[in-house]
Structure 1
Amino acid sequence: MKTEIQKCLDGENFNTLDPEIQDIIKRARRLTKEYNYLASTDTIRKEALLTELLGRIGKNVAIDTPFYCDYGRNITIGDNVIININCTFVDCNRINIGNNVLIASNVQIYTATHPLGTDERLIENWTESDSGPFFRTYALPVKIEDNVWIGGGVIILPGVIIGKNSVIGAGSVVTRSIPENSVAFGNPCKVIRENNPTV
């Protein structure tokens, strides 16, 4: 029988109130709170916290504060990556970030989502002991490949892959995967032209 964590990573409906999941979330909250309150000059402690929080972190990675995530451990980051201020990663499923990636301020990456139908979404047999009504939730991974630049205020939705050497314009809402070597922007985000990686 699958655990709720396994269901989550397999893209199935899972129980967000599961004790194991709640422990993971509480741990991430504790670590991100400490990280966000550290002095910018305390690079040794910051690196140690990110190593503890994230699933993997490469070399030469800078994550500015504040930074928020849900689980932490489902985020992997390659080498030479900048994540600017006030980014939020809802990493119920995996968020994989490649090498040489620039993520601007206020970027939001979501892996979690819910069924569209009202009857499907709400489970009404929750009890008084629960922390609130339980909505059916599932999560799909997000992947950002090498050499990608994500502009400020971009929102990336569950299941999206952004191909290598692509640029996503500021303020875009990325609802579908973007192919390699693209310049794309808008709501919903669309490919506008090919991106020549040598330029």
Structure 2
Amino acid sequence: MDDVAAADEPRLRELLAEDEDVRALFAGEWIRYRASQTLPALTWEAQSACARINRIFFDDPDEAQRLFAELVPGAGSGIDSRPPINLDYGIGLTIGDRTFINKDFLVVGGGRVTIGPDCLIGPRCSIYTPNHAEDVERRRAGWERASAVTIGAGVWLGGSVTILPGVTIGDDAIIGAGSVVTRDIPAGVLAVGNPCRVVRKIAGV
């Protein structure tokens, strides 16, 4: 992610300028998460915020909404969600206006994750951005790198959809329940399966 993309997130911009591990994470370079002084603290902070949001969501919805806006500075307006949510990082996550996120939403790893406006995210959907090193010694040493995930406007993810690192899903696509999305999906199609494949165009798109 470049500085222009980070311009709407002052804290992320500051971290990118000050911390080499954060810069490398968002640049998609190799990092060692467990050896970092910064990254585990950021995930601890985000996961703690998620735990609090989940705990108070129904008893104090205004405070839960405030905490969510603080956790995800890239969140738009009119977002509706259901607990629990579980994010490794709130920074770098962009969620478009009027998107609905159902329960058990999970985003694992860092780097840029963009969800467009007017999306429907079904229950138990997961987004994964990191890849660990294939080489055994490098993997044991903790090397990994994140690849950005982009979900376009008006996308509908059915329940229990899993999206893997580096995937882009085009506008208005529908991903069937239980699918594992391993590669890019074009706009305006229905795609299902493991691995997820295009079935047909969506009428009227």
Runs of 5+ unmatched residues, structure 1: 124-134
| 1:87 aligns to 2:94 (yes or no) | no
Looking at secondary structure, tell me which structure has more helix per residue. Answer: 2
Aligned AA (2:76): G
| Matched residue SS, 1:109 | strand
Equivalent residues of 2:92, 2:113 under 8 A apart: yes
Aligned AA (1:24): L
Tell me which residue corresponds to 2:29. Answer: 12
1:17-73: CA deviation from partner (whole Å, max 9, x where unpaired):
311112211110221111010142522112111111013111111121111010111
CA RMSD of aligned residues (A): 1.5
| 1:106 aligns to 2:124 (yes or no) | yes
1:71-126: CA deviation from partner (whole Å, max 9, x where unpaired):
11121111111110111111411110111000000001001111223233222xxx
Equivalent residues of 1:74, 1:91 under 8 A apart: no
| Matched residue SS, 1:26 | helix
Equivalent residues of 1:175, 1:188 under 8 A apart: yes
Instruction: After superposing the two structures, state which structure 1 stretch, 147-156 or 25-34, moved more.
Output: 25-34
| Matched residue SS, 1:76 | strand
Identity of aligned residues (%): 34
Tell me which residue corresponds to 1:147. Answer: 154
Poorly superposed stretches of 4+, deviation over 6 Å: none
| Matched residue SS, 1:19 | coil
Distance 1:197 1:53, change over 3 A: farther
Tell me which residue corresponds to 1:195. Answer: 202
**Separation in 2, partners of 1:2, 1:73:** 14
**TM-score for the superposition, normalised by structure 2:** 0.87
Distance 1:102 1:4, change over 3 A: same
**TM-score for the superposition, normalised by structure 1:** 0.89
Runs of 5+ unmatched residues, structure 2: 1-17
